[in-house]
Amino acid sequence: MKAHELRAMTREELTRRIDELTQELFNLRFQKATKQLSDTSRTSQVRRDIARAKTILRELELAAEVE
């Protein structure tokens, strides 16, 4: 997911997206442990998406404090 797509979301949508990505990361780790994971690069993609979403959420929080 691109940063400009995340910036178009509201805080609630970002929080929901972070929860979804965290659940997906858990499932990917579970698949890896049971040797059912076919695309191992997806784990790092999801981790980056979580970090990207959290960064944008934090930017929104800081912008709200300034106003």
pLDDT tens, residue by residue, 44-64 = 999 999 999 999 999 999 999
Residue 24 burial by Cβ neighbours in a 10 Å radius (0-12, 13-18, 19+): middle
CA–CA separation, 16 vs 11, rounded Å? Answer: 9
Tokens representing 39 are: 């695309």
pLDDT of residue 20: 97
pLDDT of residue 49: 97
pLDDT of residue 1: 80
The half-sphere exposure of 21 on its side-chain side, counting CA atoms within 13 A, is 21
Instruction: Give the residue extent of every domain in the chain.
Output: 3-66
**Residues 3-14: what's their mean pLDDT?**
94
pLDDT tens, residue by residue, 18-38 = 999 999 999 999 999 999 999
Per CATH, is 3-66 categorized as 3.90.45.10? Answer: no
